[in-house]
Amino acid sequence: MASHHKWGMVVDIDRCTGCQACVMACQAENNIAVNEEVHFLSRRAHQWIRIDRYWDGDTKEKGVVTWPDVKARFIPVLCQHCENAPCEPVCPVYATYHNNQGLNVQVYNRCIGTRYCANNCPYQVRFFNFRDPLWPKSLWNHLNPDVTIRSRGIMEKCTFCIQRIRRAERVVEGQRGEQLDDAKLKAGNWMPACVNACPTDTLIFGDLNDPNSQVSRKSQDPRHYKLLEELGTDPNVVYLKKVDPQHAQHA
């Protein structure tokens, strides 16, 4: 059964300041266990959406002294919800699959933790739970009841806040019998948590099947590109290039 929705996102990196508000909002919404110091040191911090910072003109890499012409470039990276997701076919138990709304879905109670999917993801957006998540008991109070807590041995990743999409569908389409669109997603606070939080409107989420949605329009912007496009993964996340008037275009 084909769905009438195809969820996608546009990330305009010319707007992104790297402020990390999206990262925090995601941690809060999706019950991601607190990344403690030890998890940074052991390189096992989980961030379903992360801000990668690249140095441009770094003195070390180019071998020439370019200071102060050094630029920091920020890019939010989250699951690309690929149409040809390399993570999906390698899962021996079908714990990750592509649903009929363009989402790359992770079924936690099916996952047996082979980590093949993480190995195969070129974007490094899948995280393995090497530990059971630990919160002091009092912090359980703020956990989101709509999101499963992942136990040890389970792979997890960005879901585009599927719990919010489902709630939106239930309320708008199920109960009110209306069509879900940008305005209704916004009004109900059902945009993915990162999108809601972002103060620069870098992240735009919506239905790629709806020609009037912002995400449809913005994905046609002349600056559009996809991450590692040549791999043929066909992501549902579209990036818009950073603009830098000083950038030597075809250097």
Residue 45 binds to ligand SF4 (criterion: CB under 6 A)? no
Report, in Å, the least distance between residue 25 CB and other proteins.
6
Of 222, 188, 186, 178, nearest to 205 by C-alpha is 186
Return the range that interacts with other proteins (CB under 8 A); candidates 155-163, 176-184, 205-213: 155-163
Residue 64 binds to other proteins (criterion: CB under 8 A)? no
Query: CB within 8 A of 200, min separation 6: which ones?
Result: 15, 16, 17, 19
Query: CB within 8 A of 187, min separation 6: which ones?
Result: none
Report, in Å, the least distance between residue 42 CB and other proteins.
9
- Select 22 or 33, whichever has its Cβ closest to ligand SF4: 22
Check whether the bond before 192 is cis (ω within 30° of 0). no
Residue 20 binds to ligand SF4 (criterion: CB under 6 A)? yes
Residues 13-42 that bind other proteins (CB under 8 A): 13-15, 17-21, 23-25, 27-29, 34-37, 40-41
Name residue, tokens 């939106």.
168
In one letter, which amino acid is 227? L
Name residue, tokens 């991601």.
32
Residue 152 binds to other proteins (criterion: CB under 8 A)? no
Report, in Å, the least distance between residue 178 CB and ligand SF4.
29
| Residue 76 binds which entry of ligand SF4, other proteins, none, CB below 5-8 Å type-dependent | ligand SF4
7-16 in b/e burial notation, b at 16+ Cβ within 10 A?
A: bbbbbbbebb
Residue numbers at the binding site for ligand SF4 (CB under 6 A): 16-22, 51, 76, 197-198, 200, 202-203
